[in-house]
């Protein structure tokens, strides 16, 4: 086992330590950077900003607690933007594990800052099973699928829902998701009812949805924590995502370094062996 082989098979816990340090260090020495805005993030912001005040927007909490670091800042920044524009917000979720609880808590926290009234300014529809039928069903009648809201109040008793019967009464759908539900919002709702849809997704899913932005089926796209930081900047709603970017940068450099050094150890190891064999 020459030097290169030893370098190539370093015990993985040393590498874990290096990653941990790269994320903790910026906490001690805060690093702030200028965040550049991608055209796709600007397109989403401008589409929401162009909406006339007090128009109805549907905000969906289609993410599991496992990806809140990327998705929650997007939902929070969107809510700041929408409430500042006096838009009426209808929230819902297709995620059975935690979806309704997170939709309730995140929306009420931001609504309190703009002293919005539940029932007239915002409503949380919560969760109903089988998202295919939910997405398709709301096309004809939201009340058929959701007889009551997340807390059990009948929809007929909520003033806001009197004006929102189905997608025709919704001006924009802002989907925040960590799974393929975005593809179904596009292929069921946008394709059949024409409601414009913008999406904030985790970085794992983002590359796939460029195809929908390109075909105009998606109006703008946020990708990962950087996408959230971009929307926070655009909507002037500074939050967690922007603070995280410093730590993100150092960790990326560590990973890039790992790939390069790993490959050097691999190739150098092979050349030195070839050298001996000849």
Partner 1 sequence: MSSVEIIQIWVAAFFTLAIFSFLYKDNPFYKLAEHIFAGLSAGYYVGLIWKAVIIQQLWDPMLAGSWWLVIPGILGVLMFARLWPRISWVSRIALAFVMGNTAGIFLITQLHGIVLPQMQSTMLALGGTAGFASALLAIIVVVGVISTLIYFYFSKEHTGVLGVTARVGIWFIMVSFGAHFGYTVMARISLLIGRVYFLADQWLPSFSQLF
Partner 2 sequence: MLKHLKIRFLLTFLLTFVADYQLAAAQTSDDIFRVDRINALITFVLFSIAILLYIKWAKEGKPLFIRKIAGLDAVEEAVGRATEMGKPVLFIPGIQEIDDIETIAGISILGRVAKITAQYDTPLVVPVRYPMVLAAGQEVVEQAYIEMGKRDSYNRDIVRYVAGEQFAFTATVNGMMMRDRPAANIYMGAFFAESLLLAETGNAAGSIQIAGTARPEQLPFFIAACDYTLMGEELYAASAYLSHEPLMLGGLKGQDLMKVLIVVLIIVGIILMTLGFGDAFRNLFEAV
Partner 3 sequence: MRTIVPVIVAFLAGFVMIVSFFFNPERTFFGRIESEVLVWVTIVGGFTLLLGVVSITRVNWHAVRTKKEGWVYNLFTLLSIFVMAIPAMLPVSWSQLFGDTEGSIYDWLFFHVDYPMMATMFAMLAFYIASAAYRAFRARNPEATLLLVTATLVMLWRIPMGEAFLIRVGDTLLFGYNLPESINTYIMNGANLAVQRGILIGAALGAASMSLRIMLGIERTYMGKG
Binding site for partner 1 (CB under 8 A): 13, 16, 19, 23-24, 27, 66-70, 96-98, 100, 126-130, 132-133, 136, 147-148, 152, 183-184, 186-188, 190-192, 202-204, 206-207, 211, 214-217, 223-226, 240, 243-244, 247-248, 251-252, 255
Restricting to residues 9-38, name those near partner 2 by CB under 8 A: 9, 12
CB 156 within 8 A of CB 173: no
CB 174 within 8 A of CB 200: yes
Binding residue for partner 2, selected from 31, 132, 144, 191, defined by CB under 8 A? 191
Partner from partner 2, partner 3, partner 1, none contacting 15, C-beta within 5 to 8 A by type: partner 3
Q: For residue 8, which of 182, 197, 269 has the smallest C-alpha distance?
A: 269
What is the number of other CB atoms lying within 10 angstroms of the CB of residue 243? 16
Residue 57 backbone dihedrals phi, psi, to 5 degrees: -125, 135
Q: Does 196 bind partner 2 (CB under 8 A)?
A: no
Q: Are strands 172-177 and 122-127 parallel, antiparallel or unpaired?
A: unpaired
Taking CB under 8 A as the binding criterion, the range among 74-82, 121-129, 130-138, 203-211 that sits at the site for partner 2 is 203-211
Least spacing, CB of residue 55 vs partner 2, in Å: 23
Partner from partner 2, partner 1, partner 3, none contacting 264, C-beta within 5 to 8 A by type: none
Quote the CA–CA distance of 120 and 106 in Å, as a whole number: 18
Q: Does 130 bind partner 2 (CB under 8 A)?
A: no
Give CA separation, 83 vs 49, 236, 260, in Å.
Answer: 11, 13, 47
State the Cα angle at 114 between 108 and 117, rounded to 5°. Answer: 60
Measured from the CB atom, the residue of 86 and 105 that comes closer to partner 3 is 105
Quote the CA–CA distance of 33 and 35 in Å, as a whole number: 6
Taking CB under 8 A as the binding criterion, the range among 33-41, 167-175, 202-210, 244-252 that sits at the site for partner 2 is 202-210
Least spacing, CB of residue 5 vs partner 1, in Å: 24
Q: Which residues bind partner 2 (CB under 8 A)?
A: 9, 12, 191, 204-205, 208
């Amino acid at each position: 086992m020459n030097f290169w082989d030893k370098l190539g098979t370093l015990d993985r816990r040393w590498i874990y330590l290096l990653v941990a340090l790269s994320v903790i260090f910026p906490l001690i020495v805060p690093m702030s950077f200028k965040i550049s805005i991608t055209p796709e993030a600007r397109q989403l912001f401008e589409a929401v900003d162009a909406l006339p005040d007090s128009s109805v927007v549907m905000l969906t909490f289609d993410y599991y607690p496992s990806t809140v670091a990327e998705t929650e800042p997007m939902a929070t920044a969107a809510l700041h933007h929408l409430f500042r524009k006096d838009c009426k917000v209808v929230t819902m979720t297709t995620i059975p594990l935690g979806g309704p609880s997170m939709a309730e808590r995140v929306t009420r926290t931001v609504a309190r800052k703009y002293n919005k009234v539940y029932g007239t300014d915002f409503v949380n529809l919560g969760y109903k099973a089988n998202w295919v039928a939910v997405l398709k069903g709301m096309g004809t009648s939201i009340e058929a699928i959701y007889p009551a809201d997340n807390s059990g109040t009948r929809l007929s008793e909520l003033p806001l829902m009197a004006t929102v019967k189905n997608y025709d009464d919704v001006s924009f759908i802002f989907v925040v998701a960590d799974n393929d539900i975005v593809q179904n919002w596009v292929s069921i709702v946008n394709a059949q009812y024409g409601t414009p849809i913008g999406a904030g997704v985790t970085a794992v899913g983002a590359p796939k949805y460029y195809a929908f932005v390109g075909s105009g089926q998606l109006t703008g796209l946020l990708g990962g924590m950087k996408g959230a930081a971009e929307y926070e900047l655009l909507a002037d709603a500074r939050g967690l995502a922007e603070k995280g970017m410093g730590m993100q940068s150092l960790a990326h450099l560590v990973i890039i370094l790992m790939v390069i050094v790993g490959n050097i150890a691999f190739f150098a190891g092979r050349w030195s062996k070839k050298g001996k064999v000849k």
